[in-house]
Homo-oligomer: A and B are copies of this chain.
Amino acid sequence: MERSYDRAADVLRPVKISRRFTKAPEGSVLIEIGDTRVLCTASVEEKVPPFQKGTGKGWVTAEYSMIPRATQSRTQREATKGKLTGRTMEIQRLIGRALRSVVDLKKLGERTIWLDCDVLQADGGTRTASITGAYVALTDAVQYLMNNKLLKTNPITDTLAAVSVGKVLGNQILDLDYVEDSKAEVDMNVVMTGSGKFVEIQGTAEEIPFDRADLNVFLELAEKGIRTLMEVQKTALETTS
């Protein structure tokens, strides 16, 4: 099977993470995975949603959007339609849940970190790119809080990244681009921590159900991809900017 960038089944597209992409946010990261480009910003707000008030605990939440022409043909704006699609809701719930899994909300204190993931160009894997990029933006926002003495101890408990795997024409492959995704028999998103554990596994058979043997291959591929992504995250975070 031929793939973009001439890559093998178990290879990621080129990945690039640029910090401080815009000035205002406490964390602002442009993540590029092949042609997929997501701007992930982290914004600190010194209050929490009603259900968290008075608990001493903070909150981490995400919103996701695509600009209308991130996609091959123009998609109507959700703001114009007046409501979010089910797909957007599902994705932003996933991103928020994933990032919360590596934050000690007690240590964060009664504040919210908003992770806004705006897709500028979509070529498959926007939700996993969002998680991987948002982790870096979150780290910068936490660093900002510590630099400004608003936090004493780091509430982030582990590193985090995500990738998609799937089956196309019977081949199990890592990091599907849009063309692959649109003809995939199985599509799976995997979120893992640096300690090698799963935070989220979401596998869907679009046409052909899969078995345990497939699943095992998917998880091997995902782990390999996530390890690479974590190295890119690490390098980006170590770079003075």
B200 touches A201 (CB 8 A): no
Q: Are A198 and B209 in contact (CB under 8 A)?
A: yes
Residues on B with beta carbons closer than 8 Å to the beta carbon of A215: 198, 201, 219
Least distance between A43 CB and chain B CB atoms (Å): 4
Interface-lining segment among A80-88, A125-133, A147-155, A229-237: A80-88
Nearest residue (CB) in B for A85 is B89
- CB < 8 Å neighbour of A90 from B37, B43, B86: B86
- Interchain CB contact under 8 A, B65 and A43: no
Tell me which of B23, B70, B97, B193 contacts A35 (CB under 8 A): B23
Contact of A69 with B201 at beta-carbon distance under 8 Å, contacts A74-B45, A79-B84, A86-B93 already known: no
- Chain B contacts of A74 at CB under 8 A? 43, 45, 114, 116
**Would you call A200 and B195 a contact (CB within 8 A)?**
no
Residue A2 interfacial (CB < 8 Å):
no
Q: Given A74-B45, A197-B205, A205-B101, does the pair A68, B212 have CB atoms closer than 8 Å? A: no
Residues of A within 8 A of B (CB): 22-25, 28, 35, 37, 39, 41, 43, 45, 63, 65, 67-74, 77-80, 82-90, 92-93, 97, 101, 114, 116, 118, 120-121, 158, 188, 192-193, 195-207, 209-212, 215, 219
